[in-house]
């Protein structure tokens, strides 16, 4: 499918910039989807970050761009949790910024870039020198840019107190005449307008609903045996990182109240960058509930292979077909990739009605088991009913897939991206 807006000059060389393009974090995944869409239009996409898993021929590595680089961590610690900063920290911010600017200029020159797409680095201040560097390069060169914002400062408590408010005002997000802003939900759109007086376009996270999910092949036939469950066990998949805002304790409580020995909770991801206290809490809750849970992050990777012990590695898309139910009890999400993945694979979902879901997704008519911070008797009974009724599961799967294709497919992102590019480069 081609762009719906004819363009007088479609950019042929497009550069994505972020702190990392590596692994399966949401920003990396959504950037790859945008690149796939743009490449179908004949563009070549290139990548700059501090942590990269892209081929060297199309990428530019500067390790200082990674938010966990030691120099960056040291500076960031002085910029948050306090209201003043030492002068030497200001100097180091500018030194890092200037070094990163040189790399961005080299990135643009090496690949003769015509469009930049900063991914989340002009929204959430996890790397202030990088945000400042990108902002100044765009201001100095006039290169067209589309900033793809996933998370904002006000959405993370740890950024509430800062000694870098001058930096936040300058670059998170910046106001520039040739910079288009894209957000992933309508609440962000409203807040950006209220806080900064800037207009934005909502492009939700997407999945290629035009292409049916891959069928299970021989590689995954032994998945249940490999993780130690039987064919008649009921697998409940929690496909998120083990961090507090995911509300995984609700999934544990749901299984406890269902009181079905065949139920197995599959935790597919590791913890995040917020410490291990929550993971320890989950282990305690699981023991108290007396349910069977499997932590299988060491068996899930970006691609198939084997781990250090010679055990098979599966992708997340390998294991979705084996799930009987998906739990998604998050307190907060910028959008909801795991929700889209579940309906893509036709799985029933127990979802907490977090704010973005309630505003942007639920009104569209998806069939789910909704909860509001509590595992009520009604939630338990609805879950029991859907697990016992294959015909109802199939009916929900069809309805949800059709809605996903209508509202969250690649064609939706393609159409909206076309509008942003047309505004920057002109319509035919």
Q: pLDDT, tens digit, for every residue of 296-340?
A: 999 998 889 998 899 999 999 999 999 999 999 999 898 989 999
> In the prediction, which pLDDT does 273 show?
61
| H/E run at residue 27 | helix 26-39
User: Cα–chain-centroid distance for residue 295?
Assistant: 21
The answer to whether 107 and 113 have CB atoms below 8 angstroms apart is yes
Residue where the block lists tokens 């001058």: 166
401-426 burial: b if 16+ Cβ within 10 Å, else e: bebbbebbbbbbbbbbbbbbbbebee
> In the prediction, which pLDDT does 275 show?
67
Q: pLDDT, tens digit, for every residue of 192-219?
A: 999 999 999 999 999 999 999 988 899 9
The answer to whether 28 and 21 have CB atoms below 8 angstroms apart is yes
* DSSP E strand boundaries for 211-355: 234-238, 263-267, 292-295, 305-306, 312-313, 325-328, 349-352
What does the pLDDT average to over 378-393? 97
> In the prediction, which pLDDT does 426 show?
83
What does the pLDDT average to over 14-22? 96
| Model confidence band, residue 25 (pLDDT cutoffs 50, 70, 90) | confident
Rounded-to-integer distance, Cα 89 and Cα 77, Å:
10
> Does residue 129 surpass a pLDDT of 90?
yes
In the chain the domains, ranked by start, together with CATH numbers, are 13-206+410-425 (3.40.50.2000), 218-407 (3.40.50.2000)
List the one residue out of 103, 101, 135 whose CA is nearest residue 118. 135
Rounded-to-integer distance, Cα 60 and Cα 342, Å:
34
Rounded-to-integer distance, Cα 263 and Cα 290, Å:
11
Token pair of 251 as six digits: 């999934």
Residue where the block lists tokens 């995911």: 246
| pTM summary value | 0.90
Q: pLDDT, tens digit, for every residue of 130-147?
A: 999 999 999 999 999 999
Q: pLDDT, tens digit, for every residue of 94-105?
A: 999 999 999 999
> Does residue 188 surpass a pLDDT of 70?
yes
Rounded-to-integer distance, Cα 113 and Cα 115, Å:
6
């Amino acid at each position: 499918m081609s762009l719906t807006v004819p363009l007088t000059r479609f950019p042929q060389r497009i550069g994505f910039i972020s702190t990392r393009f590596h692994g399966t974090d949401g920003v990396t995944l959504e950037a790859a989807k945008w690149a796939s869409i743009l490449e179908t239009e004949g563009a070549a996409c290139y990548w700059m970050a501090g942590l990269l898993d892209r081929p060297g021929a199309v990428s530019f590595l500067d390790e200082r761009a990674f938010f966990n680089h030691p120099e960056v961590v040291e500076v960031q610690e002085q910029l948050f949790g306090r209201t003043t900063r030492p002068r030497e920290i200001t100097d180091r911010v500018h030194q890092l910024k200037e070094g990163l600017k040189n790399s961005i200029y080299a990135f643009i020159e090496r690949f003769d870039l015509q469009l930049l797409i900063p991914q989340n680095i002009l929204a959430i201040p996890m790397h202030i020198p990088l945000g400042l560097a990108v902002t100044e390069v765009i201001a100095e060169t006039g290169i067209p840019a589309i900033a793809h914002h996933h998370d904002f400062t006000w959405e993370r408590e740890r950024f509430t107190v800062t000694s870098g408010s001058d930096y936040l005002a300058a670059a998170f997000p910046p106001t520039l005449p040739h910079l288009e802003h894209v957000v992933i939900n309508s609440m962000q759109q409203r807040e950006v307008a209220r806080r900064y007086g800037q207009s934005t376009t909502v492009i939700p996270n997407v999945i290629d609903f035009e292409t049916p999910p891959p069928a299970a092949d021989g590689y995954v036939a032994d998945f249940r045996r490999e993780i130690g469950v039987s064919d008649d066990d009921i697998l409940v998949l929690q496909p998120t990182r083990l961090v507090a805002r995911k509300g995984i304790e609700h999934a544990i409580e749901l299984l406890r109240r269902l009181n079905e020995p065949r139920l197995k909770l599959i935790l597919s991801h590791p913890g995040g960058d917020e410490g291990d206290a929550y993971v320890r809490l989950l282990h305690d809750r699981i023991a108290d509930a007396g349910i069977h849970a499997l932590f299988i992050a060491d068996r899930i990777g970006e691609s198939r292979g084997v781990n250090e012990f010679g055990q098979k590695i599966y992708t997340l898309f390998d294991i979705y077909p084996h799930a009987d139910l998906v739990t998604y009890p998050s307190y907060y999400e910028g959008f909801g990739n795991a929700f889209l993945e579940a309906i893509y694979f036709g799985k029933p979902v127990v979802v907490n009605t977090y704010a973005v879901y309630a505003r942007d997704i639920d009104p569209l008519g998806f069939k789910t088991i909704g909860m509001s911070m509590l595992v009520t008797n009604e939630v338990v009974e609805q879950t029991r009913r859907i697990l016992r009724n294959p015909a109802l599961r199939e009916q929900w799967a069809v309805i949800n897939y059709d809605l996903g294709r209508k509202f969250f497919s690649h064609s939706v992102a393609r159409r909206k991206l076309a509008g942003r590019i047309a505004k920057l480069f002109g319509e035919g």
